[in-house]
Chains A and B, each alone.
Chain A
Amino acid sequence: MVIGGILVITRKNAVHSALALIVALLAQASLYLMLYAPFVAGVQIILYAGGIMVLFLFVIMLVSIERSMKEKQFNSQWVVGTIAAVALGGLFIAVYAKGKNIFPEHALSVVEDTNTQEVAKLLYGQYMFAFEIASLLLLVAIIGAVVMAKKRI
């Protein structure tokens, strides 16, 4: 997955980046399966790798012309960006070195095969309000995307 991530940010061709991101998302789904979260893994494969990445590939097809592949690849502020990213990495390493003893070994919690039912109980019970707000967000996003991409409003 890290190799996929590195390929995403370094490829010149945008289609190669999109394919590397699909590989990274599928690897992430397998990691979710290792973490005993099969419902999230299924949602990831169907929605993320099968929906959002297809949308990205369509837009790349509409937008990326040949000229953008012959130009320079990196930003004009890439020096400052890399320094900021290295500072963030240093912060992560400092946090790791300080707090790496907190986490216990895996107490093997109750691993059942009713994960979807339990997630549904939480989603429709305790997080019902967030569920409705998420559907409202999707509605607003659909309206926004259609308005932004129209030729004449």
Chain B
Amino acid sequence: MIIENISRRAFLGAMGAAGLVLVVGCGKRTPPAAAQKYGADSMPHGWVDDPLVFVSIAPDGTVTIVCHRQEMGQGVRTSLPMVVADEMEADWNRVRVRQATADEARFGNQDTDGSRSMRHFYMPMRRCGAAARQMLEQAAAASWGVPVSEVQAVNHEVVHRATNRRIGYGALAEAASRLTVPSRESLRLKTPQQFRYIGKGEVKLVDGHDIVTGRAAYGIDTVLDGMLYAVVARPPVYGGKVASYDAQAALKVPGVVKVVQIPGTPPPSEFHPLGGVAVIAHNTWAAIQGRKALKITWNDGPNASYDSNAYRAAMEQAARAPGELVRNQGDVEGAMKGAAKRVEAEYYIPHMAQAPMEPMAATARIADGRCEVWTSVQAPQVTRQRVADHLKLPFEKVTVNVALLGGGFGRKSKPDYVVEAALLSQAMNGAPVKVTWTREDDIQHGYYHTVSVERLEAGLDEAGKPVAWLHRSVAPSISSTFGPNVTHESPAERGMGLANVPFAIPNLRIENPAVEAHVRIGWYRSVSNIPHAFAIQSFVAELAAAAGRDPKDYLLELLGPARRIDPRTMSDTWNYTESPDLYSFDTGRLRRVIESAALQAGWGRQLPAGQGLGIAAHYSFVTYVAAVVQVAVNEKGDIAIPTIDIAIDSGAHVNPERVRAQAEGACVMGAGNALLSEIGFKAGRALQSNFHDYQVARIDVAPRDIRVHLIDSNFEAPLGGVGEPGVPPIAPALANAIFAATGKRIRSLPIRDQLAGPGPMKAAAASTK
């Protein structure tokens, strides 16, 4: 289906203002002013559960459901409308999905990140569907002159059993549209036993057919009459500027129309463009050729000294001295002194680029004092705001149409590329201009995953059990992209597995030494959970080895008995924005995924030489995940992953088929992160440029078999996230498997050829003293 965008909606076939007056009394929830807000309530514009906003029915019975969250592969355009359809007893075969334009005041929060679309909108979408169903029932009852209690909506029609009369949704639409939306208190939600689609996993992707036939429209596929095509030469160093440029040769390239400079914003650059010189042409290829012909002198600025090797050394130095206190309990120093054995290790996790397969692209057109853009963004609202800011237009004069995203992974939460398109359309007197980022642009001008040194020290007692735990995490913060003088991880980053360590260790201290950022740091699927989980879950296995214990048993012992921990008692004030009462850290659930993954993987079984199993578990986005990776290392040091068993407890699974799909994807991305991916810098410039040197998982190195084990849960428990939490355990489970297979401990990512080299592999446990 071609993505259709809507800017105004009519409910139940009634067009225009008539439907809109019915909004009164429904819609946005206003929580008590003084109350601390959590979850969807805490997000800008919260949530909306109004059927007038989300549902319309045509006279032929076609039900159109609006999806206000952005589709980037997680299946949200299928799963959220499916929830509405289920509650309203709509026949999925007669449902169409329309994509909302950017308008949070109307639709509620649209910022698609943090693994929270289903978590935050499952209940609002259920209420939305239930309200629509009750209005249809009411309209049918009125038309028959029978009490509403005698009729029932069943699969796209309302039935009066006593007289065996039935009437379709299309015929009811007009009358239902004139009814008042039922109050939230009067809604009769289905019981889980009544679900038709929720929890079943049988609904096919709404965009599946269009995707496989090439008809699906992504942002980069936008075509407008008279459209021009642009690429931009951006400063190679973050914060750099154009000193001078010569466009003569570029303008001679056939097809090039114009060369213009666009202004940048000095660091912290937030979502603003980096600036540079744009080449506008009649097709993308001509623009690329024109850009090659540009002669630009750059003024690199202070980040020109950024060098990944030197930076790593500086981070390691910082990690070896005390830093800002994140969490402290007991007396770590004293317990370390009294320990029978001490173990320490440092882990390194490099920058990575999200590299979604659809590079960033946006098309803008300005006419009659209005700007309209077509693009693929995770965050439509801030996109609209920044376009308005840069064009000095009122917010209302900007329309943001969101197409399918060809992957996002956090990169498309930052709409700098959309602002570029708007500025270039402005430079062309409003003509439609599409900006395309080449892969080189993407790899070299990114919002990179942070780079991190994680130092861990533990003191063990005679039995090998930790009595003291010290963790120092050093990593430039995402907050540095948004504000000046940021040198520490934010509460959110600390809440991603750094502060909220659930281990039953009496003496525990976590510190965060200072470090400055020299590139734009941004969200990358799973974010800071990646380095924190890699270090902690590797270190636990290192301790198990030092204690001569089985790593799985040791991990369970560290977790201690099943209990619910208030995140605030672990100095985690963020808790993925969720209520600490509703979403406490349940070590029992973490234990259960560990036991499940281990059982399914046949933990403890004998494997041929060169093979091993590794386990890791991590709680993120209020979901519990454990993975057992099976690895096979040959005599050359080549690494293969025959199997991953991944167990997930994210509460009830609304669309279990897509939960499985996301877990599979997380295993692949996690393996690619661990094995291959790294962005390094020298003289402030990214060293990689395309997929030959910025490597990601391909089919031949990806895990061959991925077995996803969903932990069943009932629909009473609050939902957890799904898109991201599968990633963090994969890298440490792989490193632990490699240790089991070869005796070699991986502490620096990516693994690449660290196992290559002559001679037999030696067992190398963590350094002890």
Whether both chains belong to one complex is answered with no
Instruction: Show the binding face of A for B, using Cβ within 8 Å.
Output: none
